[in-house]
């Protein structure tokens, strides 16, 4: 890190000892998993820098922005529209929930059979190690799965200002109407929080900023479709993870610069791995920083991940928000239309997810799909069986993995992944 940020972390009320331990573990894992990769594009240096300053410079930027009157809004789900946050001059940060930290404290409040993602959110708060959470003026929860919905009841007294949005469970007209009502309520809450009026001009501008960020990700995805692939799955996942908390314009610029470099690589060949490397699509629960377990295992087995059907991936970034419409209501409708297409497993039925997985397999020329579900995540575990049956019946090999954030099952998963790769290359 470029500076000593201990005073800033102390002012935020972090537990310095626990936080130092977290950062040390994170830095070591990053060195071992990311920095040992070969043939990395130069453009990844920016993302290495972002990661090295994950709790430093970016947090300082957020605090400086707060000093200047901007509000910081944290969230746990891709259903929280960044367009609305930015239109109120707020800053959106995705709160990472990808590490097994503070689970003992979390289990004092939550049942042990809660998914790691939810436990991680509580663990970070209860052990005082997340500067992002402490820098938030508002945290947004959403009634997606039952686990999150009930957990927010216990989260409310722990954080400064929790706003919970209700969520539809079906893609019906009344489901869409509910999402619109909730986004209107969120827009009002953002205006109150910021003291600023969201005009149609501001909403159009903010939509444009978020669309540019998505467009850069679409460009990156397209490049990953080329064989041999020019970027590793781990690096692409990292970019998808940084998507949630970097400054949007700077992020967009950095991804576009990286894509310029990748385009040259695509022309010149060879890629980051040989063109014979098995190509894998990951599908399932989101992988927040620093959840790199499965991708690292896949990569060490000499396969390459070419796409993520995940909220930290294409489920979260696909589809732009339309910017036509000359009043606030029309622009808000565009936002509702875009987000209503997200096919999280909390929806029933959820056929679009299967269709998109198949589309991704074909676009990215994947040889097989690894379905990743967290233990105790009923929505994704329940869908896993249906997805496996359908894909296998169409000749697409699938490996189902259920895991958590511990490393205890890493050896067993490695064996299964290696056997799967043997199967698809036979």
Task: Give the binding site for ligand BJ8 (CB under 6 A).
Answer: 77-79, 115, 117-118, 144-145, 147-148, 285-286, 311, 342, 344, 346, 374, 377, 379-380
Report the C-alpha dihedral over residues 240, 416, 115, 148, rounded to 10 degrees: 50
Smallest separation, CB 228 to ligand BJ8 (Å): 31
Closer residue to ligand BJ8 (CB): 230 or 403: 403
Residues belonging to the chain? 426
Give the shortest CB-22-to-ligand BJ8 separation in angstroms.
21
Show the beta-strand stretches assigned E in 43-196. Answer: 72-75, 91-94, 138-142, 162-165
In the complex, what is the shortest distance from the CB of residue 233 to ligand BJ8, in angstroms, rounded to a whole number?
Answer: 19
| Neighbouring residues of 20: CB distance < 8 A, sequence distance ≥ 6 | none
Q: What span, in angstroms and rounded, lies between the C-alpha atoms of 320 and 334?
A: 9
Min separation Cβ 99 and ligand BJ8, Å: 14
CB closer to ligand BJ8 out of 79 and 405: 79
Residue with Cβ nearer ligand BJ8 (53 or 100): 100
Cis check: omega of the bond before 396, within 30 degrees of 0: no
- Give CA separation, 110 vs 46, 100, 157, 310, in Å: 38, 14, 14, 25
Q: Which is nearer to ligand BJ8, 235 or 404 (CB)?
A: 404
**C-alpha distances in Å from residue 322, one per residue of 203, 205, 248, 256, 333:** 11, 12, 18, 21, 9
Comparison of 118 and 331: residue with beta carbon closer to ligand BJ8: 118
Tokens read off for 36: 């040992």
Q: Is 211 helix (H, G, I), strand (E, B) or coil?
A: helix
Least CB distance from residue 1 to ligand BJ8, whole Å? 29
CA distance 296 to 239: 15
Minimum distance of ligand BJ8 from residue 287's CB (angstroms): 10
Alpha-carbon radius of gyration of the chain: 21
Q: What is the dihedral of CA 335, 337, 338, 340, to 10 degrees?
A: 110
Structural contact between residues 199 and 299, judged by C-beta atoms closer than 8 angstroms: no
Which is nearer to ligand BJ8, 312 or 328 (by Cβ)? Answer: 312
Which lies closer to ligand BJ8 via its Cβ, residue 279 or residue 353?
A: 353
Q: Considering the complex, what minimum distance in angstroms separates the CB of residue 311 from ligand BJ8?
A: 3
Q: Which of 90, 379 has the CB closer to ligand BJ8?
A: 379
Least separation in angstroms between residue 178's CB and ligand BJ8 is: 15
Task: Establish whether the linkage from the previous residue to 379 is cis, with ω within 30° of 0.
Answer: no
């Amino acid at each position: 890190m470029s500076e000593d940020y201990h005073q800033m972390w102390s002012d935020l009320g972090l537990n310095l000892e626990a936080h130092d331990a977290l950062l040390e573990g994170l830095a070591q894992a990053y060195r071992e998993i990311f920095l040992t990769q070969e043939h990395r594009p130069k453009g990844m240096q920016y993302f290495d820098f972002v990661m090295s300053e994950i709790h430093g410079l970016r947090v300082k930027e957020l605090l400086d922005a707060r000093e200047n009157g901007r509000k910081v809004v944290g969230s746990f789900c891709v259903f929280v529209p960044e367009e609305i946050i930015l239109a109120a001059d707020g800053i959106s940060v995705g709160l990472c929930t990808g590490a097994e930290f503070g689970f003992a404290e979390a289990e004092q409040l939550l049942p042990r059979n809660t998914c790691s993602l939810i436990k991680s959110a509580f663990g970070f708060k209860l052990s005082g190690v997340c500067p992002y959470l402490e820098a938030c003026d508002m945290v947004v929860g959403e009634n997606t799965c039952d686990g999150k919905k009930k957990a927010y009841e216990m989260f409310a007294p722990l954080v400064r200002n929790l706003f919970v949005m209700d969520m539809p469970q079906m893609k019906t007209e009344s489901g869409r109407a509910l999402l619109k009502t909730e986004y209107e309520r969120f827009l009002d809450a953002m205006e109150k929080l910021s003291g600023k009026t969201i005009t149609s001009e501001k909403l159009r501008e903010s939509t444009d900023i978020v669309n540019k960020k998505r467009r850069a990700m679409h460009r990156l995805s397209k490049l990953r479709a080329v064989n041999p692939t020019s970027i590793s799955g781990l690096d692409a996942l990292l970019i998808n993870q940084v998507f949630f908390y970097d400054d949007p314009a700077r992020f967009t610029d950095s991804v576009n610069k990286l894509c310029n470099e990748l385009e040259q690589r695509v022309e010149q060949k060879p890629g980051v791995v040989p063109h014979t490397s098995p190509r894998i699509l990951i599908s399932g629960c989101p992988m927040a920083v620093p959840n790199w377990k499965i991708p690292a295992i896949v990569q060490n087995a000499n396969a390459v991940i070419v796409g993520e059907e995940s909220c930290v991936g294409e489920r979260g970034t696909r589809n732009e928000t339309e910017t036509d419409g000359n009043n606030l209501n029309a622009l808000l409708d565009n936002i509702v239309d875009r987000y209503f297409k997200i096919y999280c497993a909390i929806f029933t039925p959820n056929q679009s997810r299967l269709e998109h997985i198949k589309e991704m397999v074909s676009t990215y020329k994947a040889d097989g799909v690894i379905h990743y579900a967290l233990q105790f995540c009923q929505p994704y575990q329940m869908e896993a069986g249906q997805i496996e049956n359908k894909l296998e019946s169409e000749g697409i090999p699938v490996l189902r993995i259920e895991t958590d954030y511990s490393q205890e099952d890493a050896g067993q998963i490695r064996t299964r992944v290696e056997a799967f790769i043997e199967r698809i290359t036979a």
